[in-house]
Amino acid sequence: MSNRTIDLFFSNYRLLPDWQAFAAAQRKLLAKDVVIISHDHRGDRVGAGLNAYIEEVRDAGLTFEATGDRRMEIFDASPDQITVRIRGTVCLRSPLGNVSEFPDGQHLWTETFRFDADSKITQLEGRMTFKTAAIAESSAA
């Protein structure tokens, strides 16, 4: 399954580190008052608008490192909402417990997109959870 808006959204990340080009490309996909919700080991954050989205991407870049094995899989879709699971290795710049690398299967990373009638993204909710067994095993070692 594929969705043009989602495909463009993720392909725009290749524009980084050119933040201006990235913001301009994402602006075309995001509603003006898009709601950004993030949940991960740092806590829950909520913001609105393109600037909040860009700030969240910058903050994530300070916490998470990109890996070459990342792939996206749409696993839940309706006309106004799509949830994407991001698979592959997640690397943390600062370890959680003693773990800084979580291979696929040791984390659950989803991005849920909500759309308006014009296919603009009105809400983006990112959720990252790590398997506690992986953290506990590394802390015991």
Got the DSSP string for the chain? ---HHHHHHHHGGGGTT-HHHHHHHHHTTEEEEEEEEEEETTEEEEEESHHHHHHHHHHHHHHEE--TT-EEEEEEEETTEEEEEEES-EEEEEEETTEEEE-TTSEEEEEEEEE-TTS-EEEEEEEEEE-HHHHHHHHH-
Are β-strands 43-48 and 107-115 bridged in parallel, bridged antiparallel, or unpaired? unpaired
Asked if the model's pLDDT at residue 134 lies above 60, the reply is no
Whole-number average pLDDT of the chain: 90
Distance of CA 88 to the CA centre of its chain: 13
Q: Rounded to two decimals, what is the model's pTM? A: 0.88
User: What is the model's pLDDT at position 30?
Assistant: 97
Nearest by Cα to 13 from 2, 24, 22: 22
User: What is the model's pLDDT at position 109?
Assistant: 94
Looking at the domain covering 4-140, what would its CATH class be?
alpha beta
